[in-house]
Every structure is written in structure tokens, then in C-alpha cells.
Structure 1
Amino acid sequence: MKTVILCGGLGTRLSEETQLKPKPMVEIGGQPMLWHIMKIYERHGFNDFTLALGYKGGVIKDYLLNYHARLSDLTVHLKTGRVDYSNPTAEDWQVSLIDTGTNSMTGGRLLRLKSHLQSTGTFMLTYGDGVSDVDLTALLAFHRGHGKLATVTAVRPSARFGGLHIGGGRVLDFKEKPQSGEGWINGGFFVFEPGVFDYLADDATVLEQAPLETLAAEGQLMAYEHPGYWQCMDTVRDRDALQSAWDSGHAPWIKQVN
């Protein structure tokens, strides 16, 4: 099963870091946030990734193109240019890196992946700036059990993200970034059926607005309620909190990557 990670945003609220790199490449514990997210999925057996690139996507390409070499012993034949690799420690991942436009919105990025995804069936999707100890195996089982087009992982941090009104496991209403209120919010870690592409119009489509709002209104968006750990990286404060958690040796998402 393919896992999409949205990696193309500008990350303006973390400009101290993102002037030089895309937000998924901001490091926590010496590893890019992107690596942490992929390790969470790997722990549950998902190792086929599609990265929706945009702003400074070349940085991510360079990182992955050189990943195997950085984690291997090398013998370089200078005359021929041949390189022999030995003792590699790289993960067994397949990663597709697809340019989805510098200015595309979240739904637009997903729409640009339609030809890559529509024939593969159910797929997973998350943002390139958040980690969690969500049980992805249970999430997928929940999605397959209800038979709807979409599942969003609902989490309970501060109410500055997309608010969810849930009843009987079904998303009754979806509102992006409410100004006030408490309760479940959009934590990413989605599961989608290919039918979701019918709700996406163009590059300007914001996934968290009309598409998810319409899916909710039609009873096609379900919520997997995750009361455990979830943390995004929107600001320097968020980055520092994640780093502190890592430094403690007890970062909640680490148990997913042992």
C-alpha cells in the first residue's frame, strides 16, 4: 500500500529553518522530520512512499539520492567512476519523488498524484510535519471496516487546527482551523479510497476545506479517534518541544520505530 507524504509547503511559520530547506527536512535528533514520519509507517509494515514535493523539493531529492551512500562503506574507483557499496544499513523503502508544484495547495498536490495512485486502491496520506504514536495497523483496519471513502485520525491538542464534530465514529462536520473551541481536531494520518479524487478540482484546492467538508456532509468521512500522542512542527517552539522529547530518551513516537 502506498503512503503519501505532503512535503511541498512553504513552512513560513518556521522561517528560521525553512529559508534554506523544506519543513520536512528540519532535523529532530539529527534526522529530518521526514525520516521520523517514514519510520513510524515502516514500523507497521508500510514502506512504499510517495512524496509530494514543492518548495525546495531538490533538497529532499538530494537527501534521498545520497541516502544509501551515506549509510554504506564505499570503495571509489577514481579512473572509472565506479562505486562499490558494502555493509549498507539503509532501510528497505521504495520512495517516489513527484513534483506537485511550488504553489499548489494540499488538495492540489494530491490531485497531481492521481495517475500515480488511482489504480493502486486504498492509500494512506499524512503531512510532512507531524509525528504520533497512532496505531496505523488499527487505523487501516478501522477504515476497511466502515467502507467509506475517507478516514482522518482525530487527535486532541490545542484547537488551532481543523475541528471535527464526531458522532458514532462518523465525522458529522469538518471545520478548518476554528478560532475557538475544544475537542477532536484533524491530526493527519489519513486513509483514502481513490474516489476521493472526485472531490479535488485543481491546484488551488485545499484538502481541508471543500473536499473534507463535502465528504463529511455526505457521510463519507470517518474519524479514527486517537487519544494518545500527536505533535506537529509549525513553529520554532514546536521544533524545540520535539527535540526536548527526543533528548529525553522517551519521545512518545520512538516506540513506533524500534
Structure 2
Amino acid sequence: MKVVLFCGGQGQRLLETGADQVFVPKRATDAPKPMHLVGGKPILWHLMKWYATYGHTDFVLCVGFRGEFVRAWVGNLAGKRADEPTALPGVPRHHLLDGEAAGWSVTIVDSGLSAPVGQRLRAVRRLVDSEDLFLANYADGLSDVPLPQMIDEAHRSGAVATLLAVRPPESIHTVDFQPRSTTISEIAPMAEQDVWVNAGFFVLRPAIFDILHPGEDLVDAPFGRLVRAGRLGGYRYRGFWRAMDTAKDRLILEKLWSSGVRPWAVWEDPAHEQFVPWWPTR
């Protein structure tokens, strides 16, 4: 199954991260968010490794801001590679033949310097249009969600788009007021309430391109249309998930990695078995 990873974000809320915590750039402000490091590896590597553990090794990287750093990093993943043309003129598919990423295929597409996620997805339509299902990810968070079960749910439901829904981990408190009053009636941690957020992990059908209009982001208007049509699915998961939006988030993930508590690193689990999909594959 193809995996589309959105790698064009500038990571403005990570600007305070030290320059030694990003891949390649001379200044931290140069780094696309997926190039910020956890355990000495870009978060992009952790995600690709996670998908590959479940047998999904055909990656499409939508680059934008400082895309050359993503290209340089991919170039370092393997000493040998074989390239083939794709449906996009001048955009090759790199088959990595050795090193830690042996067996992976990577296609890097310049999807615009400041394009929203929806337009980055539209830029690679010709690469995924023939798929029954394909995967997509904001490339700025990690989880141990059981991917095969999420795909299975998306396949069975017939939803055009299925997103991973998680409980917010932040220590934010919600506030309720008494009617027509400034008196607070309740204050409670958001994490303890029945609130779910979009985690940025998606299973999509090519029909998404009939919903996604030029200039739109992926979620607001398109997913709103799917909601009204009853075609948006959600996989609710209470396990580990953490986005890397800020330097604090990166520090939390770094501490988890250093401590050996790495829920997303399923490839390190000796009990993990390679998943064999039952759905149609190409």
C-alpha cells in the first residue's frame, strides 16, 4: 500500500529547537518539521520504519519548504538504488537496495513551498489514483496504533477517508459557565473528557480527490462534505500517540526514546510478526 507523507511544513513552533536536533541544516529555522530528530533519527525515519514494519514500504514524500534536506537524507539511506519513471514526468521512484532501508521505494514530489496539505495530496494524485486504499500522514507524530486493524476498519466501513482519533494528551482544562453568568460551573482536564482529536494518520480511497477541491486543505471543507455524506470514518484509539508540534513535544519523545520506553518502535518487539494483508494489493 502506498504511504503519502506530508514533509513540507516549516515547523514554526519548533524554532527554539537546537541546531544539533535537526538533520543537515545550519540553522534550526531551516529544518522541515519531519527532519527534527528523535533518538538521532528524523521523525520521518521513525514513521517510515513503523509503516515498513507492517509491510508498507512504498513511500511518496510531498516536500516543500527546504525539500532539499529531505532529498539529501533519502540519498543517505542507501548506498545503492535503482530508479524508475513514475506517472509524474521527471519524478523518479527510488528503489533502495541496501542499508537499513533496503527494500523501500521512495518517490519525492515537490508539492509547493507553502501549499496546504490538501494541495500537497492533489499534487501526487497520479501516483495513488489506481490504489484501492492508500495511507497518508502529517509526518509530525508517532503512535503505536495497530495499523492493520485501522486499515481493516477503513476497508470494511467503505469510508472515503478514515482518520485516527485520539484523546488529547495536553494538560489543558476546559471551563463551563453557568447560564448567562460569569460564574464557572465546572473546570476539568480535557484528557478526562470525551474529547477526540485528529491525530493525522489517514487511510484514504482515491474518491477523496472527487471531494478535495483546488486550493483547499484536507480536513476543513473536504472532510466536512464527507461528514454530511456519512463517508468519514474514525478509528478511536486510547493508546500511545504524541505529536511533535513544539520543542517540548520533541523533548518528551526524546526522553521516551532514551529511557527505552518507545511504544511506536514496534520493529524492536521480538514478538511482533510481519502482517500479511488480506485485502487486494498490487
CA distance in 1, matches of 2:42, 2:166: 23
- Map 1:104-143 onto structure 2 (within 5 A): 104-143=115-154
1:241 correspondence with 2:226 = no
Q: What is the aligned partner in structure 2 of residue 163 from structure 1?
A: none
Q: What is the count of residue pairs matched by the alignment?
A: 223
Partner residue, 2:210:
198
| Equivalent residue number for residue 147 of structure 1 | 158
* 1:93 positional shift: 0.6
CA deviations on 1:52-103 (whole Å, 9 max, x unpaired) are 1111011000111122139xxxxxxxxxxxxxxx984433210110010001
CA distance in 1, matches of 2:170, 2:133: 29
Pick one of 239, 247, 250 that aligns with 1:228: 239
Structure 1 residue matching 2:16: 3-state secondary structure? helix
Letter in 2 for 1:96: T
1:92 aligns with 2:100: no
| 2:205 partner letter | E
Task: Tell me, yes or no, if structure 1 residue 37 matches structure 2 residue 76.
Answer: no
Match of 1:175 in 2: none
Give 1:182 deviation, angstroms: 5.1
* Aligned partners of 1:133 and 1:256 also within 8 Å: no
Contact 1:108 1:206 (C-alpha < 8 Å) held by counterparts: yes
1:121 Cα shift?
2.6
**1:14 corresponds to 2:14:** yes
Residue 163 of structure 2 contacts residue 200 of structure 2 at CA under 8 Å; is this kept in 1?
A: yes
Cα offset, 1:159, TM superposition = 7.2
Partner SS, residue 190 of structure 1: strand
What does residue 79 of structure 1 align with?
none
Q: Is the 8 A contact 1:132 1:230 kept in 2?
A: yes
Q: 1:250 to 1:218 in 2, by over 3 A?
A: same
Report the Cα offset of residue 106 of structure 1.
0.8
Residue 169 of structure 2 contacts residue 242 of structure 2 at CA under 8 Å; is this kept in 1? no
Matches of residues 62-77 of structure 1 in structure 2 within 5 Å? 62-69=72-79
CA deviation string 1:128-150 (max 9, x = no partner): 11000011111111111111211
Once residues 2 and 246 of structure 1 are traced to their aligned partners in structure 2, the CA distance between those partners, rounded to angstroms, is 27
Distance 1:226 1:7 in 2: 24
> In the alignment, does 2:224 pair up with 1:213?
yes
Alpha-carbon distance between aligned partners in 2 of 1:149 and 1:159, rounded to the nearest angstrom: 30
- In the alignment, structure 1 segments of 5+ residues that lack a partner are 71-85, 161-180
Q: Give the aligned CA root-mean-square deviation in angstroms.
A: 2.1
Change (3 A) 1:221 1:55: same
Decide whether the 8 Å contact of 1:158 with 1:182 is kept in 2: no
1:64 aligns to what SS in structure 2?
Answer: helix
Unaligned runs of 5+ in 2: 18-27, 81-96, 172-192, 270-282
1:57 aligns to 2:57 (yes or no)? no
Which amino acid in the other structure matches residue 5 of structure 1?
A: L
After TM superposition, the score normalised by the length of structure 1 is: 0.81
Identity %: 38
Are 2:131 and 2:205, in contact at CA under 8 Å, matched by a contact in 1?
A: no
Q: TM-score, normalised by structure 2?
A: 0.74
Report if aligned partners of 1:44, 1:136 keep a CA contact under 8 Å in 2. Answer: yes
**How far apart are 1:218 and its partner, in Å?**
1.1
